[in-house]
Amino acid sequence: MIDAIFQLLFRYEKPLSKTQIHKYLGFADLEESFLGLADDQRFVFHGRDQWATVPLKDLVTDKKLKDTTFIVTDIETTGSIQGKDRIIDLAAIKVKNGVQVERFEQLVDPQQPINRHITQLTGIKNQDVEGMPLIETVMPDFIDFVGDGVFVAHNAGFDFYFIQSEIKRLELDSLPVIVPICTFQMAKKLLPTLKACGITGLSNHFGYEFEDRHRAMPDVEATCFFLEKFLEQVQEDGVDRLHSLIQFQKEGLTKEQINKRIKRQESKLKYRKHSSRP
């Protein structure tokens, strides 16, 4: 819940009240949703029960991109629900100044069945993960691998926050990264006329060929390729520091968009209440 609040406030860049946040995100319980907010370094209280994220300069180092270590990452999971589903494939490549420095790759025993849909999507079967390490063993190694690097993924909002959710569940030290780099968001900004900005769409656009789509390491390798292309382009346009790259990739929210979403959420709630009446 706290991560969802951060993503909202980070995109809006202005204070919102607890009530506005609650309505926008559709949380079931107002007070429970905000437990831990006051102790989280990412947030600042603005009075009258309003909250915002701290300034970006206080969240992210102003390191030059050529000096930044990127941890390009991908996961495959048993499903998309944080806290319920589990990681079955985790891979990452450490990249600095365009050079791939080190690799991390591991199948994980999720201790729950892999359904047919996930097997069809990833090719990973239940027998493939039998006897593989548990996430309790794999995640500490991954955290060590990341070090002080910057997390990168294609559709980072899923991979990054799923991993962070697992880290919290396992009661491990959190990744030092506050805001991940998302090559999907970069693609939308740099290739505005391209309709399909997923890995398949970008692969077709750039003529990049690879096998085993939806396996972690091949997807990481493709993302590394896209990242290098995008970093070259943004640096030509003067975006040469991590701080400015995060600001560039950000998909902002307007007050109008906030209010429209709140109205839709309120309408859904009224409809559900009306439909549940005997």
Tell me the per-residue pLDDT of 144-159, one tens digit each, with 9 for 90 and over. 999 999 999 999 999 9
**How far apart are alpha carbons 82 and 74 in whole angstroms?**
15
46 assigned to active site: no
Point out the catalytic residue in the list 22, 154, 205, 214: 214
Do the domains 2-60+252-275 and 65-240 sit in the same CATH topology, yes or no? no
Alpha-carbon span 210 to 223, nearest angstrom: 11
Residues 6+ apart with CB under 8 A from 131: 109
- The dotted CATH code for 65-240 is 3.30.420.10
pLDDT digits (tens, 9 = 90+) for 212-245: 677 899 999 999 999 999 999 999 999 999 999 9
- CB-count exposure of residue 203 (10 Å: 0-12, 13-18, 19+): middle
Residue 278 predicted with pLDDT over 60: no
What are the Cα distances from residue 15, in Å, to 53, 60, 172, 241, 257? 8, 20, 30, 26, 15
Name which CATH class applies to 2-60+252-275.
mainly alpha
Average pLDDT estimate for 262-276: 75
Tens-place pLDDT, residues 54-102? 998 888 888 999 999 999 999 999 999 999 999 999 999 999 999 999 9
Kindly report, residue by residue over 19-55, the tens digit of the pLDDT.
999 899 987 776 777 888 888 989 999 888 899 999 9
C-alpha–C-alpha distance, residues 53 and 14, integer Å: 8
| Of residues 41, 36, 121, 34, the one with CA closest to residue 76 | 121
Q: Average pLDDT, stretch 190-195?
A: 95
How is the chain split into domains, by residue range? 2-60+252-275, 65-240
What is the pTM assigned to this prediction?
Answer: 0.91
